Amino acid sequence: MWLIMEAETRGAGISNGVIRAASEGSLCVETQITYALWAGQEDGSVYCECYERSDRSEEWSPVSSLGGACQE
């Protein structure tokens, strides 16, 4: 959650991430953003970020970031 105090927009932003697809070497997270107590023109949004790794000892590396829900 974060506070937005701009000249044209005000309110609170709330994001919620959910794992939509996962395996040993890949992972996709769908994030929904909504606004509360909002004054401005912004609507909520959804985006999907996917990551890969070759084995468990490695860090996750970003593969793609797409607007919209993750494909299941």
Distance CA 48, CA 70 (A): 5
Domain with 51 in it: 2-67
72 within a domain of the structure (yes/no): no
Long-range contacts of 43-49 (CB under 8 A, 24+ apart): 48/20
Distance CA 23, CA 59 (A): 14
Q: What is the predicted pLDDT for the residue at 7?
A: 86
56 within a domain of the structure (yes/no): yes
Total of domains in the chain: 1
Distance CA 30, CA 25 (A): 17
Q: What are phi and psi of 42, to 5 degrees?
A: -75, 135
**What is the pTM for the complete model shown?**
0.78
Per-10-residue mean pLDDT, the chain, length 72: 89 94 92 90 89 92 94 76
17 within a domain of the structure (yes/no): yes
